[in-house]
Structure 1
Amino acid sequence: MASLFTKIVQGEIPAYKVAEDSQFLAFLDIRPNCKGHTLCIPKKEVDYIFDMEEQMYMELMRFSRKVALALEKTVSCKRVGVAVVGLEVPHTHVHLIPLNDMSDMNFANHYEMTDDEFKELAESIHVNL
Structure 2
Amino acid sequence: MTIFSKIIAGEIPAYKIAEDDQFFAFLDIFPLVEGHVLVIPKLEIDKFFDVPDDYLSRMLVFSKPIAKAIEKAFPCNRVGLAVVGLEVPHAHLHLVPINGIDDLNFTRGKLKLSPEQLKSAQEKIVRELTS
In the alignment, the residues of structure 2 paired with residue 75 and residue 112 of structure 1 have an alpha-carbon distance, to the nearest angstrom, of 17
Aligned counterparts, 1:1-129, within 5 A? 2-107=1-106, 108-129=108-129
Offset at residue 112 of structure 1 (A): 2.7
Instruction: Report the secondary structure of 2:31's partner residue.
Output: coil
Q: If the length of structure 2 is used for normalisation, what is the TM-score?
A: 0.93
In the alignment, the residues of structure 1 paired with residue 19 and residue 95 of structure 2 have an alpha-carbon distance, to the nearest angstrom, of 15
Q: Which runs of 5+ in 1 are unaligned?
A: none
In the alignment, the residues of structure 1 paired with residue 20 and residue 127 of structure 2 have an alpha-carbon distance, to the nearest angstrom, of 15
Task: Name the aligned partner's letter for residue 119 of structure 1.
Answer: K
Q: What percent identity do the matched residue pairs reach?
A: 48
78-87 vs 101-110, which moves further: 101-110
Offset at residue 50 of structure 1 (A): 1.2
Number of aligned pairs? 128
Runs of 4+ in 1 over 6 A off after TM superposition: none
Q: Deviations over 1:62-92 (max 9, x none)?
A: 1111210110010110011100011111101
In the alignment, the residues of structure 1 paired with residue 92 and residue 22 of structure 2 have an alpha-carbon distance, to the nearest angstrom, of 13
In the alignment, the residues of structure 2 paired with residue 48 and residue 61 of structure 1 have an alpha-carbon distance, to the nearest angstrom, of 16
Partners of 1:34 and 1:109 within 8 A in 2 = no
Q: If the length of structure 1 is used for normalisation, what is the TM-score?
A: 0.94
Offset at residue 43 of structure 1 (A): 1.2
Offset at residue 17 of structure 1 (A): 0.7
In the alignment, the residues of structure 2 paired with residue 112 and residue 50 of structure 1 have an alpha-carbon distance, to the nearest angstrom, of 30
Partners of 1:74 and 1:124 within 8 A in 2 = yes
Partners of 1:72 and 1:80 within 8 A in 2 = yes
